[in-house]
Amino acid sequence: MELSQIEESLKEKTTEKQDLQLLEEMIKAALMYGHKKTRTNPKFKPFIFVNRNNVEIIDLNLTLDKLEQAIEFLKNKIKEKATILVVATQPAAREAIEKLTKEFNFSYINSRWIGGLLTNFNILSKRIEYFKKVQADFEKGEFEKYTKKEKQKINKNIFKMKKLFGGLENLSKKPDVVFIIDLSIKGHRTAVREANRIGVPIVAILDSDDDPNLVAYPIPANDHAKISIDWLINKIIERLKD
């Protein structure tokens, strides 16, 4: 089946003019490209439209439906002033996540998952508070009395902590929602397990190698290409601001 035929078949399933326009945007942004068939998670199969040249093609009409459900859920949570944590440690998502988290003041993790952040939050929150205090003291010049070598050591320590905790400064309690991009990344898998263990709902952009049953609001799409992630996050921002 030729790529142009696949695109036309996807469009034929769409009845609304507005949805057709969105579908065309999604095709251009490469949202429909999953992984090779050998990597397919059996539980993802309902979201697969067809396989082309050993690559899974995701049904973008289902992506659109699931995206709408996820956005409505996030909208309601924002109205409730819920705490939302975004997890996206891959370079392809960095720019989009920075934009999303700044727009809505969400907490985020963009370097690596901190084991126990959800399941041992009381302990981890003390480390976050310590980081905030040390950083504030540094900015106030509290360490000027130390030697050059001591200040370099403190600087290095602050840098390491900022990499871990920099996006968590406003996280004063366990998150009410966790939003993850790509479930297959090692640290992200741990985040999923921790969230499910304590009953925190997950919204996730996930691909053909992921299990959609692990999350409350799956958004099936290409989760490894920057162009796809950018389109999805920009659309989510746009809709959440409506």
For strand 84-87 and strand 48-52, is the pairing parallel, antiparallel, or unpaired? Answer: unpaired
**Residue 142 belongs to some domain of the structure:** yes
- Domain match, 139 and 188 both: no
- Domain match, 65 and 160 both: no
**Residue 199 belongs to some domain of the structure:** yes
Residue 151 pLDDT grade (very low, low, confident, very high; cuts 50, 70, 90): confident
- Domain match, 200 and 145 both: no
Q: What is the pTM of this model?
A: 0.90
- Domain match, 144 and 26 both: no
**Residue 66 belongs to some domain of the structure:** yes
- Domain match, 6 and 34 both: yes
**Residue 161 belongs to some domain of the structure:** yes
Render pLDDT for 185-230 as a digit per residue (tens, 0 to 9). 999 999 999 999 999 999 999 999 999 999 999 999 999 999 999 9
**Residue 138 belongs to some domain of the structure:** yes
- Choice between 122 and 140, residue whose per-residue pLDDT is larger: 122
Among 165, 193, 221, the domain boundary falls at 165
Can you tell me the mean pLDDT for 96-114? Answer: 95
Structural domain harbouring 147: 128-165
- Domain match, 64 and 98 both: yes
Residue 19 pLDDT = 79
Residue 17 pLDDT = 60
**Residue 123 belongs to some domain of the structure:** no
Closest-CA residue to 225 (of 202, 204, 205, 211): 205
- Domain match, 99 and 200 both: yes
What size, in residues, is the chain? 242
- Domain match, 112 and 154 both: no
pLDDT surpasses 80 at 236 = yes
pLDDT surpasses 70 at 94 = yes
Q: What is the CATH number of the domain that holds 110?
A: 3.40.50.10490
Render pLDDT for 153-175 as a digit per residue (tens, 0 to 9). 888 888 899 999 999 999 999 99
**Residue 214 belongs to some domain of the structure:** yes
- Mean confidence (pLDDT) of the chain: 92
Residue 18 pLDDT grade (very low, low, confident, very high; cuts 50, 70, 90): low
- Domain match, 144 and 60 both: no
Query: Could you write out the DSSP letters of every residue in 2-25?
Result: -HHHHHHHHHHT--SHHHHHHHHH
Can you tell me the mean pLDDT for 93-118? Answer: 95
- Domain match, 182 and 142 both: no
Give the count of domains, the chain: 2
Compute the distance between CA of residue 9 and CA of residue 26 in angstroms, rounded to an integer. 14
Tokens, residue 64 = 């659109």
- Domain match, 21 and 66 both: yes
Render pLDDT for 21-36 as a digit per residue (tens, 0 to 9). 899 999 999 999 999 9
Residue 92 pLDDT grade (very low, low, confident, very high; cuts 50, 70, 90): very high
- Domain match, 147 and 79 both: no
Residue 229 pLDDT = 98
